[in-house]
Amino acid sequence: MNTSITERYQQLIDEITEHNRRYYLDSHPIISDQEYDQLFAELKHIEEEHPRIISENSPTQSLVGQIAEGFEKVARQQPLLSLENSYDAGDLRSFDDRVKKVLLKHDITSRNYTVEPKFDGLSVELVYEDWELVQGITRGDGLVGEDVTQNVKTIRSLLPLTPPSSYVAHYPRSLHVRGEVMLAKSKLQALNQEREKAGLEPFSNTRNAASGSLKLLDSREVAKRGLSCFVYELLSSTFGTDSWDLKEEVTDLADFGLPTFKLTDQLFSSIEEVIAFCLNPETKKKLEQQDFDFDGLVVKVVGNAEENGASTSSLHDILGHTNHHPRWAIAYKFPAQQASTQILRVDFQVGRSWIITPVANLRPVQLSGAEISRASLHNFDFVKEKDIKLHDWVWVQRSGEVIPYITGVIKERRTGEEDLISAPLFCPSCQWPIVQEEMHYYCRNPHCPAQIKEKVLHFVSRNCLDISGIGESITEILMSQKLLQGIEDLYRLERPEVQIYLKKLPGFGEKKIFEILQGLEKSKTQPLWRILNGIGIPNIGTKLAKDLAQRLEEKKIKNLNEMIFWLTNEEFLLDIEGIGEKIQTSFSDFFANEEVKKMLEGLVRAGMKFEARSSVWNGDSLSEGSLPETTKASRYFSITWTFPISREKIKEALEKAGFQWVATPHKAVEFVLVGHDAGKKETIARELGLKIYDDWDEILRVFPDLKALELPLRASTTHGKENVQQQSLF
């Protein structure tokens, strides 16, 4: 055999074993799941091609490198296996083919599937005797784990059990179940804030935080972390003289009072039904709305007794398992939300607010179903705080399908070739000298092309004037032809002679020009809040723009001069929630700027209406007329946690009906919508004695038009129950 193959084989064993130790014992991995899976797949491929080379130390044969020091070792009755991974429909069909082939040898022609969430936490075995929790054991290497009983007992939901009366006759002397220890996303934020204050490195995700917390040697410290646990598998049970099969009788471990999370009750009769469910974006969306992290789904073979009499346990026995994973289950993994990659280069961008922002160009990596090659480094204080250097390997996160964010540096992968990231001396766009003010660096050239481009793109964006047809490429063409040197120049495109010229440029056909002209005309009568959001006032966003527009409506402003008068009035501004002296001063400076005056006057000449009109929405959904008398007088409302409808849609509907949303409840708030398993905000609301709607049926009764917004896939959680799922390197 080629010596290079045997050397590579041993190298892979050593690398994977080391990564197992970092992941399972240190709770501090230095490569992503995707990179790990690639190494593991390469190891399996070598073993499939050269079976004689297989070593008993191979991670495919046992879960090596996963036993911690500091805890008593426990040999378990049966191994806790990992799961084989799948990433697409083809992988799931291959799994189904393998299952079908084995079952046909036993004359079994049909089977069903269940789909469960895959928890992103730490796997444990829990042992109950006489309904009392007596032992908690980590997975370890599958056969031997660490005794973390005292730490597990800090999780209140695990003890004591409350068996239903129907099971008392078959009193189990002992019960072994498998679960996942988790840390809520909301608790990770608070935990990391405490760690940063103490000078400790924050946890990069909830899985690492849960694992690190459970393996603390002081159970009093574990209790402070507020861990949760969800049980998903009955491993074994022991009865005195009664030998009935509890596995076949128990369909829901929640019957024993154990904390569980059920994603769906659906039984799937074919792998195509499973694939449709797994690939349905609503499935992933539902899990993302929970306060816990999931990294996929678990597909399990179950019996179809009506057709062939085979029980689930008998099917599992027939299908069996390898030393690594069961053959009757497979994990379908969602596209990664966190990955490791390397900073190849750092560019400096100029924003519409003159700020120079460092942007990392990354080694391309797949994240949440998209290829990520760039991530903002925000400002130079962020670079310093995270100790980010050029050529560093970093963790990149894209939770909730949002902009990628660098969460930390993998310092263990540094080679000594890394360089400091320093601010440039001159603007990368116009070459003006850069000036530093507090944490930011600025280009103060009012004619900087990069700034103009960003201001235009912001002005035409969906949350501002919503002018279709003008994107980045069109903006660049217009600027290159000297047709666009400021926001107000957009309306020059309405001139006939300019339109004739546009037809000679690439990308400007009759249809494109008509689309742009239509958008420009529509923009002149857009609500005032969109104009306020679009013209580039510092420190203003959608929420504050809407608040300002409503207050200006009360003043019945009719033109630009009246608007400027009130937006530079100190008393008027400081009376609005969210505006302090710093923001008030920035408003005054903005409207005193000569370039801003020129831009606003240009918009007026173009026909822009700086007029505050009624903000009450009379659309097809929620309208003021449908609101109950008790809530019509409400000005402020707050909303917390999850609902069958997304919070953004609920907020938008109520805001369009004339209400104002605030993030944190205060005395002026008239009502608060409280969803499933709410926390701090609900406590604040109750302490303030605010009106609370915490029942979804009641919310629909009080706000009946919300029914039209309900999602097809409703959350199956009920108040007081938590839902979750698992991740591992395997």
Whether the predicted pLDDT of 468 surpasses 90? no
Distance CA 133, CA 151 (A): 12
The most confident of 105-109, 195-199, 532-536, by mean pLDDT? 532-536
pLDDT in tens, 285-298: 899 889 999 989 99
Mean pLDDT of 361-366: 90
Whether the predicted pLDDT of 609 surpasses 80? yes
Of 320-324, 439-443, 627-631, the range with the lowest mean pLDDT is: 627-631
Q: What is the pLDDT of residue 309?
A: 58
Q: Last residue of a domain, which of 523, 546, 571?
A: 523
Tokens for 257, please give them.
Answer: 């009072």
- The neighbour count for residue 109, using CB atoms within 10 Å, is 12
Tokens for 577, please give them.
Answer: 């929630």
What's the distance, Cα to Cα, between the start and end of the chain in Å? 29
The pLDDT-based confidence of 615 (bands split at 50, 70, 90) is: very low
The pLDDT-based confidence of 167 (bands split at 50, 70, 90) is: low
Same domain, yes or no: 515 and 535: no
Same domain, yes or no: 17 and 148: no
- DSSP character for 547? H
Residue 179 lies in a domain: yes
Contact in structure between 711 and 282 (CB atoms under 8 Å): yes
| 118 annotated active-site | yes
Same domain, yes or no: 326 and 189: yes
b/e sequence 374-413, b meaning 16+ C-beta within 10 Å: ebebbbbeebeebebbbebbbbbbbbeeeebebbbbbeee
Q: What is the pLDDT of residue 162?
A: 65
Say if residue 79 is preceded by a cis peptide, omega within 30 of 0. Answer: no
Distance CA 435, CA 181 (A): 50
Q: Going by DSSP bridges, is the β-strand pair 669-674/691-693 parallel, antiparallel, or unpaired?
A: parallel
Distance CA 88, CA 279 (A): 8
Residue 253's Cβ-side half-sphere holds a number of Cα atoms within 13 Å equal to 21
What is the amino acid identity at position 299? V
Q: What is the pLDDT of residue 341?
A: 93
CA dihedral of residues 180, 317, 301, 158 (deg, nearest 10): -20
Catalytic residue among 44, 118, 386, 691: 118
Q: What is the pLDDT of residue 682?
A: 81
Burial class of 473 by CB neighbour count within 10 A (0 to 12, 13 to 18, 19+): exposed
Tokens for 247, please give them.
Answer: 């596995």
The pLDDT-based confidence of 328 (bands split at 50, 70, 90) is: very high
pLDDT in tens, 652-662: 777 766 677 77
Mean pLDDT of 693-713: 71
Residue 86's Cβ-side half-sphere holds a number of Cα atoms within 13 Å equal to 22
pLDDT in tens, 546-583: 889 989 988 899 999 999 999 999 999 988 877 888 88
Look at the block and give the residue holding tokens 């495109």. 493
pLDDT in tens, 9-57: 888 888 888 888 777 667 678 887 778 888 888 888 888 888 878 887 7
Distance CA 274, CA 121 (A): 24
Same domain, yes or no: 157 and 269: yes
Residue 227 lies in a domain: yes
CATH number at residue 213: 3.30.470.30
CATH number at residue 374: 2.40.50.140
To the nearest 5 percent, what fractions of the chain are helix, strand and coil?
A: 40, 20, 40
Same domain, yes or no: 353 and 309: no
Tokens for 504, please give them.
Answer: 């000679």
Most distant CA atoms of the chain, gap in Å: 97
Tell me the residue range of the domain where 399 lies. Answer: 338-435
Residue 106 lies in a domain: yes
The pLDDT-based confidence of 205 (bands split at 50, 70, 90) is: confident
Whether the predicted pLDDT of 129 surpasses 70? yes
Q: What element of type H or E holds 630?
A: helix 629-632
Residue 132 lies in a domain: yes
Same domain, yes or no: 251 and 106: yes
Same domain, yes or no: 122 and 270: yes
Whether the predicted pLDDT of 626 surpasses 50? no
The most confident of 58-67, 196-205, 609-618, 708-717, by mean pLDDT? 196-205
Sign (positive or negative) of CA dihedral 222, 235, 69, 211: negative
Whether the predicted pLDDT of 617 surpasses 50? no
Mean pLDDT of 327-341: 87
Residue 449 lies in a domain: no
Residue 292 lies in a domain: yes
CATH number at residue 27: 1.10.287.610
- Determine the Cα angle at 331 with ends 366 and 716, to 5°: 100
Question: What is the secondary structure of 209-274 as a DSSP string?
Answer: HHHHHHT-S-HHHHHHH--EEEEEEEEEEEESS----HHHH-S-GGGGT-----S----BSSHHHH
- DSSP character for 202? P
CA 64 to each of CA 68, 434, 663, 691: distance values in angstroms, whole numbers, following the listed order: 11, 54, 47, 55
- DSSP character for 390? B
Mean pLDDT of 484-491: 93
Distance CA 143, CA 66 (A): 11
Q: How many domains does the chain have?
A: 6
Whether the predicted pLDDT of 170 surpasses 70? no
Distance CA 391, CA 646 (A): 40
CA 308 to each of CA 109, 270, 300, 340: distance values in angstroms, whole numbers, following the listed order: 8, 16, 18, 47
List residues bridging with 376 in a β-sheet.
359, 405
Mean pLDDT of 633-658: 74
Whether the predicted pLDDT of 463 surpasses 90? no
Same domain, yes or no: 282 and 369: no
Same domain, yes or no: 602 and 630: no
Look at the block and give the residue holding tokens 């235009």. 456
pLDDT in tens, 665-691: 877 788 889 886 666 778 788 878 888
The pLDDT-based confidence of 454 (bands split at 50, 70, 90) is: very high
Distance CA 115, CA 262 (A): 9
Whether the predicted pLDDT of 249 surpasses 50? no
Determine the 3-state secondary structure of 108 from DSSP.
coil
The pLDDT-based confidence of 705 (bands split at 50, 70, 90) is: low
Residue 730 lies in a domain: no
Q: What is the pLDDT of residue 632?
A: 38
Same domain, yes or no: 55 and 138: no
Distance CA 500, CA 483 (A): 13
Q: What is the pLDDT of residue 70?
A: 65
Q: 460, 237, 429, 259: which is closest to 348 by C-alpha? A: 429
Q: What is the pLDDT of residue 625?
A: 36
Q: What is the pLDDT of residue 618?
A: 32
Q: What is the pLDDT of residue 727?
A: 28
Average pLDDT for the chain: 82
Q: What is the pLDDT of residue 239?
A: 56
Q: What is the 3-state secondary structure (H, E, C) of 491-534?
A: HHHHCHHHHHHHCCCCCCCHHHHHHHHHHHHHHCCCCHHHHHHH
Q: 357 phi and psi, to 5 degrees?
A: -115, 125
Sign (positive or negative) of CA dihedral 409, 415, 421, 422: positive
Q: What is the pLDDT of residue 7?
A: 85
List residues bridging with 176 in a β-sheet.
127, 236
E-strand spans in 431-493? 435-437, 440-442
Q: Last residue of a domain, which of 574, 606, 638?
A: 606
Sorted by sequence, the CB contacts under 8 Å of residue 83 that are 6+ apart come out as: 118, 298, 325, 326, 329, 330, 331, 728, 730
Residue 489 lies in a domain: yes
CATH number at residue 660: 3.40.50.10190
Burial class of 464 by CB neighbour count within 10 A (0 to 12, 13 to 18, 19+): buried
Of 205-219, 260-274, 518-532, the range with the lowest mean pLDDT is: 205-219
Q: 405, 454, 412, 410: which is closest to 429 by C-alpha? A: 454
Distance CA 602, CA 605 (A): 5
Looking at the chain, how many residues does it have?
A: 730
The pLDDT-based confidence of 227 (bands split at 50, 70, 90) is: very high
Q: What is the pLDDT of residue 87?
A: 84
Same domain, yes or no: 565 and 662: no
CA dihedral of residues 38, 40, 41, 42 (deg, nearest 10): 90
Contact in structure between 550 and 656 (CB atoms under 8 Å): no
Same domain, yes or no: 253 and 167: yes
Q: What is the 3-state secondary structure (H, E, C) of 139-193?
A: CCCCCEEEECHHHHCCCHHHCCCCCCHHHHHHCEEEEEEEEEEECCHHHHHHHHH
Q: Last residue of a domain, which of 385, 411, 435?
A: 435
Whether the predicted pLDDT of 633 surpasses 90? no
Whether the predicted pLDDT of 712 surpasses 70? no
